[in-house]
Amino acid sequence: MKVAVGADHKGFVLKEYIKRILKEQGYEVIDKGTYSEESVDYPDFAFKVAESVSKGESDRGILICYTGIGMEIAANKIKGIRAALAFIPELAKLTRNHNDSNILTFGSYYMSPYMAQEVVLTWLKEKFEAGRHKRRVDKISNRENL
């Protein structure tokens, strides 16, 4: 599985940690930046990761900023993206099972490296349950086409 990762300056250190974990687990990582702790604008990196997922260059994406909220909002502006903020493994599981999220966001301020690792690995291993959830996700997708 190919996973695009991106962060702003506040998420850079945690992004680097997550990249290492993903590679150790056998995932192919596509780093969309940022590449330092120098101040940058989070939407630039949210759009890069979201477009990578939307175009099929990546299977899923992970975005990290200070809170995870800005990245989530920005990524969801790209057609076909269902970005979800999760800060505990149970939410990561449910957003995959019920919402078929294709981008995970979280905040570096609120997540220890260990908890981020648990959330990410949980989210990556989970599958979309479809069933009644598919009807709901389809309604969201159809709205994008208006």
Give which of 69, 76, 84, 63 is closest to 12, Cα–Cα: 63
Q: 52 vs 13, 17, 104, CA distance in Å?
A: 22, 21, 14
Catalytic residue among 2, 93, 98, 133: 98
Does residue 65 have an active-site annotation? yes
Q: 26 vs 50, 89, 101, 107, 121, CA distance in Å?
A: 22, 20, 21, 24, 12
Catalytic residue among 7, 30, 49, 65: 65
Give which of 89, 129, 94 is closest to 106, Cα–Cα: 89
**CA 141/CA 41 separation, integer angstroms:** 27
**Catalytic annotation, residues:** 65, 98
